Amino acid sequence: MEKIYETDPYQTQMTAVVESCTQGKKGYDIILNQTVFYPEGGGQPYDTGTLANAQVLEVHERNGRVVHTCDVPLEVGSTVDGHINWDRRFDLMQNHSGEHIVSGIAHSKWGCDNVGFHMGSDLITIDLNILLHEDQLLELEQEVNRYILEDHPVVITYPTSEELETLEYRSKKALTGQVRIVSFPGADTCACCGTHVSTTGQIGLVKLLSVQKFREGVRIELLCGNRAFAYLNRAFEQNRMVSNLLSAKIFETAAAVDRLLHENEALKSRIRAMEDGHFAQLAQNYANAENVTLFENDLTPDALRRLCSAVLDTCHGFCACFSGDDNSGYKYAIGHSGGDLRSFTKSLNAQLNGRGGGKPDFVQGSVSCSKKDILEFLEQQS
């Protein structure tokens, strides 16, 4: 079988003869005498497209043959036209080529080995076996993009076994037989079976998004080519909308958000102080009471807890505080100084479609029922 994608990754269509067609688990597995479809491997996903009237769903290599899994069968011996999804292929070429350059330059600068590579539908991850930090990530990104803009040729060779012995190249495993070497001169030389651009300028851009500690080294998330441009356009549009909402200039949104957060914290402190004053007054209204049930509007779980605690300091028995409405349900905070609410809480949650718990003498949670249901339940328990 001729694997056209190895010698010409820019060829998007072909005419081929169907050598076999068998029904598999995911569709019909078809083998051709030649193919432009790249099979999944080396961290790169498979191509999709069409063979005659069949949709190519997956492509894998089995025992040296490329198997095209299609949605309908094709007649053995027939000649079919094949077309790959070029947008998908070129996206993968950009991202795979960008990964080579990032891995190669990181290796030459800090001695990192690429020990893991995944090309997902959203982003790429590279696992390196040496710790890198944010400042090194910025330096790496700048060098990678400088190299891309210099528009170096990408060279693919098939060295002899003798030539391989003296050639320095990256490979995750020992290789036998004919080895395909992909070289980005001055940046990376690697054994690879994937598809790549012919010159680095076609990658356009590499954006390193994050670096996180992973095992003994780091995992880098990145985007290349059109994916990187799309990501930056979305980020710009988001920042533009934030800029408009905050009436701040594009490069001053972070300072505006920081100011807004400080103002919000100050408002929260004032609201908390006002709530605590209100709760203290309510608590005095129930001084020396035995059992207390309160319904208050628009309280957070924390405010509900503080209300219940304030009343417990003045009453002598049981205190149940609720906040909510009949449509969305009620949050609760219930306390009983020196008491045991475990059996009570279990019955409450069971009968009022609730969930929650806590300490034996203080519990919090929520119920999905009406105010009338709550009052009837509490009446039954008294």
Query: Which tens digits make up the pLDDT trace of 143-183?
Result: 999 999 999 999 999 998 888 888 888 876 666 678 899 99
Q: What is the mean pLDDT of residues 261-277?
A: 96
In terms of pLDDT, which residue wins out, 178 or 282? 282
* pLDDT given at position 288: 87
Q: Give the type of residue at 153.
A: P
Mean pLDDT of the residues in the chain? 94
CA distances from 27 to 64, 135, 368 (A): 20, 48, 47
The pLDDT score that the predictor gives to residue 173 is 66
pLDDT of amino acid 338? 87
Q: How far is CA 287 from the centre of its chain?
A: 54
Helix (H) / strand (E) containing 365: strand 362-367
What are the tens digits of pLDDT across the range 61-90?
A: 999 899 999 999 999 999 999 999 999 999
Mean pLDDT, range 255-264, rounded to an integer: 96
| pLDDT for 171 | 77
What's the confidence (pLDDT) of residue 78? 96
| Residue 366 bridge partners (DSSP) | 331, 355
Residue 363's identity, in one-letter code, is: V
Distance between CA atoms of residues 52 and 300, nearest Å: 62
Please give the pLDDT value at position 34. Answer: 97
Residue 35 token pair: 């193919």
- For residue 379, give the amino acid letter: E
How far CA 261 is from CA of 38, 121, 179, 342, in Å, comes to 50, 35, 57, 40
β-strands 362-367, 79-84: how paired? Answer: unpaired
How many angstroms separate the CA atoms of 286 and 34, rounded? 87
Coil, helix or strand for 377? helix
Measured distance CA(369)–CA(100) in Å, rounded: 59
> Which amino acid is located at 264 in the chain?
N
Q: What confidence score (pLDDT) does residue 198 get?
A: 97
- Neighbouring CB atoms inside 10 A of 187's CB total 22
pLDDT score recorded for residue 317 = 86
- CB contact set of 179 (below 8 Å; sequence gap of 6+): 158, 159, 164, 191
- The answer to whether 307 touches 327, Cβ cutoff 8 Å, is no
Tens digits of per-residue pLDDT, 322-371? Answer: 999 999 999 999 999 889 999 999 999 999 999 999 999 999 999 999 99
As a whole number of angstroms, the longest Cα–Cα distance in the chain is 96
pLDDT (0 to 100) of residue 172: 61
* Whether the predicted pLDDT of 233 surpasses 90: yes
Residue count (the chain): 382
Q: Let me know the angle formed at the C-alpha of 186 by 180 and 188, rounded to the nearest 5 degrees.
A: 40
Q: Where are the beta strands (DSSP E) in 24-105?
A: 28-32, 34-35, 49-51, 54-62, 65-70, 79-84
What average pLDDT does this structure show over 244-269?
95
The percentage of the chain sitting over the pLDDT mark of 70, rounded to a whole number, equals 99
In three-state secondary structure terms, 169 is coil
CA atoms 165, 171, 173, 179: torsion sign: negative
Characterize 154-169 residue by residue with b for buried, 16 or more Cβ atoms within 10 angstroms of its Cβ, and e for exposed: beeeebeeeebeeeeb
Closest by CA to 335, choosing from 368, 355, 313, is: 313
